[in-house]
Amino acid sequence: MDDKCIFENILQLTKGSADLYLHATIESPTENINTTFHDLLHETLKIQHEVYKKMEAKGWYPAEQVEAQKIQQVKQKNSAQ
C-alpha cells in the first residue's frame, strides 16, 4: 500500500468519524455528553484538516480555486434563506 492510498484511507476514516460525532453531538441527551461529543468532533475535524493539507501539498487532493464573486453569490443566496 503506497502513501497516497494510506492517506486516502485515513481521510475517509476521519470523515466517517466526524459524521458519527456530529450526529452524536446533535442527539446528546445531556450537556455533559454533548460537550464530550462536541470536543471529539472538533478534534476530528482538526485531524481531517491536517490530513487534507498534507494531501493537498503532495498534489493528491487538489483544491479548486473559486472566484471571489462566486463565493459572494453563495453567501448572498444563503443569507436570504
Specify the pLDDT at position 16: 98
Per-residue burial over 57-68, b if 16 or more Cβ lie within 10 Å, else e, is eeeebeeeeeee
Quote the CA–CA distance of 7 and 56 in Å, as a whole number.
Answer: 11
Specify the pLDDT at position 21: 98
Taking only the tens place, the pLDDT of each residue in 26-74 is 999 999 999 999 999 999 999 999 999 999 999 998 888 888 888 888 8
Taking only the tens place, the pLDDT of each residue in 10-25 is 999 999 999 999 999 9
Quote the CA–CA distance of 15 and 61 in Å, as a whole number.
Answer: 14
Q: How far is CA 36 from CA 29, 71, 81, in A?
A: 12, 33, 31
Q: Where are the domains of the chain?
A: 3-79
Kindly tell me the burial class for residue 45, based on how many C-beta atoms sit within 10 Å of its own C-beta (0-12, 13-18, 19 or more).
middle
How much is the pTM? Answer: 0.77
- State yes or no: pLDDT of 78 exceeds 90: no
